Amino acid sequence: MPKRYTWLILILLAAASLRLVGLSEIPPGLTHDEADHGLDAWGVVNGIRPVYFTVGYGREPFFDYATAGLMAFLGPTYLAGRLTAVYLSLILIAGTYVWSRRAFGNTTALLTAAGLAVSFWAVLTGRQALRSIALPAIFVLAVYFYWRAAEKSKSPSFNQEEQEYPAFPFFYKPVAYYLVAGILLGLTFYTYIPARVIWLLFPALLLFLALFDRNRFQGIWAGTLLTLLVAGILALPLILYLTGNPSAEVRLAELMAPLNSAAAGDLQPLLENVTQSSLVLAFRGDSLVPHHGHSVLRRIRYLVVADLGRHQGSAAFAGSHNQLFHHRLAVTGFHPRAADRPRSEHDPHRRFATGALHLPSHRSDGCLRGPGRTQTAGPSPHRHPVPSPYHFHGQGLFPRLG
């Protein structure tokens, strides 16, 4: 086995461990989006096969169909959704490696794969049953096959493959790679909203080459059009459905509001979103516990403090910070009992996920008791509880279905 594959296997094993350990407990509870995915996936198992799911704000179906494949064997358990996210996350790492190795070399590819294996956001999206992870996983595979097709058809790599597998010469010709790239690119439309924009990278590449590298443009323009044609045909059912049912996409209208304001000349909403999102990524964190609770930098500080406390043998020094990381998943910053930790009246991060947690009944600080979604304790314009129809127990996601 080539040494590069040994390193890749080690990276994938490390990535799998960070995504599988404590998967049923971390992140704690379920968000309503995860619950919706699970319910729709179980519906697919039982014969409900829409091209677009209209539950909640509306969403693309790929993730739910993939989850349904696992539920067919595992039954109606929420772990099927999270395992689907794990598998897609590992596909993303492997796909990124095989593409970047051809584009930038093996060292860069290994470093990129290692970064995806351990970085916070990559681990987080690989542990939650949310459809967003499906888009980069499928798209990077489309890019890989397109990249292979765009290489010169008479290159040594293609000639060698045709000689090694003479019974299937078509599968090692550029047109086959263009076709596979088109199929994968078409599938991305069924994963997540940004797929409706990122396909433009392919015609943008053609335009760039037409202006600055005519030789390469002549070599790939026909194949690129084939890729886009196949993708368009595959995405057509979804496009026709959404065109005929514009009210199915409530969420898209909400997300478009800042862009519509910018188009009208008011840049303030868009700039505010960009600023706040930048702060969330590293410095402040999302105040909603299932979405993280604290900034990445603050978690690193906690880890250092906890580690020092453990080595000094001082429980008082480490305190609850050491407990927070005892699950060997410091990179995620989650703990299954995080919602039960006492908070001060001045703690700005006083949100509690209650969709799958039973908060102690003796709490008197205004927390929502029993099943619900999310509620902010203390004075806040968002303090009112939002009742949730999802109340799950440890025996399975849908104990009353089927």
The pLDDT tens digits for 127-156 are 999 999 999 999 999 999 999 999 865 444
Check whether 402 has a pLDDT greater than 50: no
Query: Which tens digits make up the pLDDT trace of 342-367?
Result: 443 343 333 333 333 333 333 333 33
Query: Which tens digits make up the pLDDT trace of 271-321?
Result: 998 888 888 776 776 666 555 555 555 555 555 545 555 555 544 434 444
Residue 4 within any structural domain of the chain: no
Residue 202 within any structural domain of the chain: yes
* Res. 27 pLDDT band, cuts 50 70 90: confident
**More confident of the two residues 185 and 336:** 185
pLDDT at position 291 is 54
pLDDT at position 292 is 53
Check whether 199 has a pLDDT greater than 60: yes
Check whether 327 has a pLDDT greater than 60: no
Q: What is the mean pLDDT of residues 79-95?
A: 97
Q: Which of 375, 335, 362 is nearest to 29 (CA)?
A: 335
Query: Which tens digits make up the pLDDT trace of 153-191?
Result: 544 444 445 445 555 555 668 899 999 999 999 999 999
**Taking the alpha carbons of 15, 18, 22, 27 in that order, is the dihedral positive or negative?**
negative
Residue 107 within any structural domain of the chain: no
pLDDT at position 31 is 85
pLDDT at position 280 is 77
Is the backbone peptide bond immediately before 76 cis, with ω within 30 degrees of 0?
no
Where are the alpha helices (H) located in 75-171, listed in sequence order?
78-104, 106-118, 120-125, 134-150, 156-164
Residue 217 within any structural domain of the chain: yes
Q: Do the beta carbons of residue 78 and residue 38 sit within 8 Å?
A: yes
Backbone φ, ψ for residue 386 (5° rounding): -110, 105
Residue 305 within any structural domain of the chain: no
pLDDT at position 359 is 31
pLDDT at position 176 is 92
Q: Provide the b/e sequence for 343-360 (b: ≥16 CB within 10 Å).
A: beeeeebbbbbbbbbebe
Range of the domain at 157: 130-248
Residue 224 within any structural domain of the chain: yes
pLDDT at position 130 is 96
Query: Which tens digits make up the pLDDT trace of 236-267?
Result: 999 999 999 988 887 777 778 888 899 899 99
Coil, helix or strand at residue 3: helix
Residue 161 within any structural domain of the chain: yes
pTM summary value: 0.71
Number of structural domains (the chain) is 1
Return mean pLDDT, the chain. Answer: 76
What is the phi-psi region of residue 175: left when phi exceeds 0, alpha when psi lies from -120 to 50, beta otherwise?
Answer: alpha
Residue 233 within any structural domain of the chain: yes
377 CB burial (10 A radius; 0-12, 13-18, 19+) = middle
